[in-house]
Amino acid sequence: GNSVTQMEGPVTLSEEAFLTINCTYTATGYPSLFWYVQYPGEGLQLLLKATKADDKGSNKGFEATYRKETTSFHLEKGSVQVSDSAVYFCALSESHTNAGKSTFGDGTTLTVKP
């Protein structure tokens, strides 16, 4: 079956530090890959996605590149802000067959200190 493994947290950084959250996956087909972010007290929301190998998703200064050879989709940001403090989920979704289902990682909690 499909699975997503992401870097264990919590991660604590100082403002303007470089962020990497690792994510690797196993899938039977050719999935699309996602990063979702959950701010305190809110639901998950899409941060970025990539639908095929070598695609780069980007949003709000975050980036992730779909690496098929290493089955990875690591999240990066060059300079984090206090407002980036949240839980980050890596996820995959294969093309719809007869059931729409995403597989989520366990989430990584990021705290950014001023």
Partner 1 sequence: DTAVSQTPKYLVTQMGNDKSIKCEQNLGHDTMYWYKQDSKKFLKIMFSYNNKELIINETVPNRFSPKSPDKAHLNLHINSLELGDSAVYFCASSQVPPTSGVGETQYFGPGTRLLVL
Chain residues 77-106 in contact with partner 1, contact rule CB under 8 A: 87, 89, 91-96, 98-102, 104, 106
The nearest distance, CB 16 to partner 1, in angstroms, is: 25
The strand ranges marked E within 10-106 are 11-14, 19-21, 23-26, 32-38, 44-50, 56-59, 62-65, 75-77, 86-93, 102-104
- Residue 24's SS3 state is strand
Q: What is the largest CA-CA distance in the chain?
A: 47
Pick from 3, 45, 59, 81 the residue near partner 1 by CB under 8 A: 45
Question: Which CB sits closer to partner 1, 18 or 52?
Answer: 52
Both structure tokens of 80: 């984090």
Residues that bind partner 1 in the complex, under the rule CB under 8 A: 30-34, 36, 38, 42-46, 49, 51-52, 87, 89, 91-96, 98-102, 104, 106-107, 109
